[in-house]
Amino acid sequence: MSKYKELRMKLTPQRLSILSYLDGNREHPTAEDIYRKVSRKFPTMSLATVYNTLETLKRQGMLTEITIDPDKRHFDPNREKHHHLICSKCKRIADIQIEFDLAVPKESTQGFEIIGNHVEFYGICPDCRKE
């Protein structure tokens, strides 16, 4: 609980369970995934509690929302700089822990000062390739 002290939210048992589920999670879960897992322990918890907690964490920079599928919002608690592999069939997401030094020609920046990048690679995961 002490590692969550910097969060600017009331740490209810339900929220602590959500935070615990996200801690170290590399699965890129949706709010519904989190709800299904955490509601086993807290059956009266609502999906709105999960969404509100995720929105608060996102605003505080504690996780990133990945919007690869317009019907599902995935959440990534990994705050280390990384990129993603995304399966075009099942939408599974995997991390790539490699730095890419991508030089963008100045004439292509449209006046933007580039401060970082995020690369998404698309393909077919091993499970979907077996089908």
Q: What is the CATH number of the domain that holds 31?
A: 1.10.10.10
Domain interval for residue 11: 2-76
Both 37 and 90 in one domain: the answer is: no
Alpha helices in 2-103 (DSSP H): 13-22, 31-38, 47-59
Both 70 and 99 in one domain: the answer is: no
Q: Which of 37, 58, 76 is the last residue of a domain?
A: 76
* 46-75 average pLDDT score: 90
Both 60 and 109 in one domain: the answer is: no
Helix/strand/coil for 59: helix
CB 9 within 8 A of CB 53: yes
Taking the chain, what is the end-to-end CA distance rounded to the nearest angstrom?
43
- Number of domains observed in the structure of the chain: 2
Q: What is the pLDDT of residues 100-121, one digit of tens each?
A: 888 899 899 999 998 888 899 9
Q: What is the pLDDT of residues 70-89, one digit of tens each?
A: 788 899 999 888 999 999 99
DSSP 65: E
Question: How does the average pLDDT of the chain come out, rounded?
Answer: 90
